Amino acid sequence: MLTNPSFMPPGSPMVISTDFPELTSLDDVRDLRTSYLDALPKAQDALLETIVATGRVFGIVAQNRLGGYFVVVDDKLVEYHVSPELETSAHLLFPKFVLENGIRSALVKTFDHVFLSCALDIGERVTVRGVLVRDYVRRELPDVDRIRYTRRTATRDDLPRVIAVEQDVFTHPERLRTVVENGHVELFEHDGELIGFCLLRPVIAGRPDIEVGIAIDTKYRNKGYAIYMLREAADLCTARGLNPVSGCARTNEPSIRTGLRVGFSGRYRLIEIRFRDAASAPAAT
């Protein structure tokens, strides 16, 4: 049971007997994670998906059955899920794990309701890290004569040109190589010049959610190209029956305004919840 009542919601019963063994990988909780992703009311975030892939996975074992899991990166929780059988104990299991493992904070999508409420129960400070865009309703834009370009899918031969685009969004050469080779990059060109490119990358293989992101070369910025290219990228997804999603830092106001112009709605947030000092709390027994 917990010996630190400050981490318990008022009037809560004792936590059921559980263990949190460290597992080998996410493959050990494959079915549980599929249930988690299916239950989310909105699509998983691409950045978080990348972070989760690097994390340590801990199972939640109750009565000799695996009933949930945690994913931890350093001392930060980045994913939490319990099976329906353990849902009524979710807010009790959470602080128990936090205390036992010295977890300092959680990175949470605001539409991940169980994880969010459990983290807020023991939270001390909340910081908005990102805007999560999950809704797209196409908006009409005026036809501007000076904005003219063609679009095509990048090939491996285009990689040097893609890397040479002066931009500060997609800057990792090997990651760019991977998305180009997988056919997930569209080029926007005019008169032989590369204006910019967009990424149309599946968030999770086999699911319809596509991360949409654009990068514009320095000389073409602030001229209206980004708005038209972002809308074309989103339209390309919907024409294929796919769901365009996106995200950016909360401080990236230009990207937020561009998204609003074309019909993206950033109603959700990626937040970091800092926990009360668990390091000095008595250990759970």
Q: What is this structure's pTM?
A: 0.86
Per residue in 40-79, pLDDT (tens digit) is 999 999 999 999 999 999 999 998 999 999 999 999 999 9
| Structural tokens at position 124 | 């001390």
DSSP 8-state class, residue 284: P
In CATH, 135-266 is 3.10.20.70: no
Ranges of residues in the chain with a pLDDT under 50 are 1-12, 279-285
User: What is the identity of the amino acid at 109?
Assistant: K
- The ranges of the chain annotated as CATH 3.40.630.30 are 135-266
pLDDT in tens, 196-206: 999 999 999 99
Share of the chain above pLDDT 70, in %: 92
277 to each of 20, 71, 76, 93, 210, how far by Cα in Å? 21, 20, 13, 18, 38
- 16-38 residue pLDDT tens: 678 999 999 999 999 999 999 99
CATH of 5-131+270-275, one of 3.40.630.80, 3.30.200.20, 3.90.190.20, 3.20.20.70: 3.40.630.80
